[in-house]
Amino acid sequence: MAFTHLLVEDRDAVRRITVNRPDKLNALNRATLSELHLAFHAAGADEGVRAVVLTGAGAKAFVAGADIAEMNGLSPVQAREFSRLGQTLMQRIETLGKPVIARINGFALGGGLELAMACHLRIAADSAKLGQPEVNLGLIPGFGGTQRLLRLCGRGAALELCLTGNPVDAARAVQLGLLTRAVPAERLDAEVDALASALAQAAPQALRGILDAVTIGGEAGLATGLDYETQAFALAFSTEDMKEGTRAFLERRKPQFTGR
């Protein structure tokens, strides 16, 4: 599949999707959002893909936000559709059923932070800056920022970032729970590649069960979430990977998971 604003490559069972608009700091316009929809749909449908890394081209930005030049001309009705397009993409990533790692190599602001928060794990260079600066434009986050910040970091941090519009550095983002980890910039690729490789070797159905239990169960009451976990746990016993994993443990060898 050919894209105008994305680069897509496979490294064994890891698919790497790169937003490729470095001259615009990888800003998200409607065309880029639409291409990301297609790219993640393809990654979800491809059984050979077991993990996804999402990043931005160049050294300055993961994604520096939505494309302000395009947004400036939107009517309220068009703005609503733009928000829905972005939110649908974020939900697609969040519910992909395969682990998605955000490789944050620079600025992750506005829509860029919202994109990163839709990923399951976020690893950033220690020089990265993250924030929701929409208030400085007379706007509010529109791709899920208020809601995912609330769920990831709590009410206080969500209000601080959204009300002030001030970015935080990577160390502060780790403290808030916004980042999984921050690493020296020169170690970013090694850390991301090692994590992605490890996830790609894990049992795909078990990964999906964990992702669903956390994502879906986390939005329900505790009793409902626990019941969902029990059902997913039981379902895992029907897989060949569960039999292979337990057998390998007993035989003291590394399991070879096939996704069945």
| Cα 139 off chain centre by | 23
Residues 110 and 10 in one domain: yes
Residues 190 and 223 in one domain: no
pLDDT surpassing 80 at residue 207:
yes
Looking at the DSSP bridge assignments, the partners of residue 17 are: 8, 54
The H or E element spanning position 114 is: helix 111-118
As a whole number of Å, the CA-based R_g of the chain is: 19
**Mean pLDDT (the chain, rounded):** 94
pLDDT surpassing 90 at residue 28:
yes
Q: Average pLDDT in the 169-198 region? A: 96
pLDDT reported for residue 93:
97
Give tens-digit pLDDT for 217-251.
Answer: 888 888 998 998 999 899 999 999 999 888 999 99
Residues 176 and 222 in one domain: no
Please check whether residue 19 lies inside any domain of the structure.
yes
For 136-146, b where at least 16 C-beta lie within 10 A, e where not — what string? eeebebbbbbb
pLDDT reported for residue 200:
95
Residues 132 and 238 in one domain: no
Please check whether residue 257 lies inside any domain of the structure.
no
260: pLDDT confidence band, cut at 50, 70 and 90?
Answer: confident
Residues 21 and 67 in one domain: yes
Distance CA 182, CA 129 (A): 11
- Residue 246 is part of which domain span? 204-250
Residues 136 and 187 in one domain: yes
pLDDT surpassing 80 at residue 1:
no
Active-site choice (94, 134, 191, 251): 134
CATH number for the domain harbouring residue 215: 1.10.12
Residues 30 and 124 in one domain: yes
How many C-beta atoms lie closer than 10 Å to residue 30's C-beta? 17
The residue whose two tokens read 């300055």 is 60
Q: What percent of the chain has pLDDT over 90?
A: 84
The H or E element spanning position 228 is: helix 222-236
Q: How many domains does one find in the chain?
A: 2
Question: Cα dist. 62→58, 130, 157 in Å?
Answer: 8, 10, 21
- Least confident range from 104-108, 116-120, 210-214, 217-221: namely 217-221
Residues 59 and 171 in one domain: yes
Residues 151 and 240 in one domain: no
169: pLDDT confidence band, cut at 50, 70 and 90?
Answer: very high
Distance CA 14, CA 3 (A): 19
Active-site choice (35, 94, 114, 191): 114
Q: Annotated catalytic, 134? A: yes
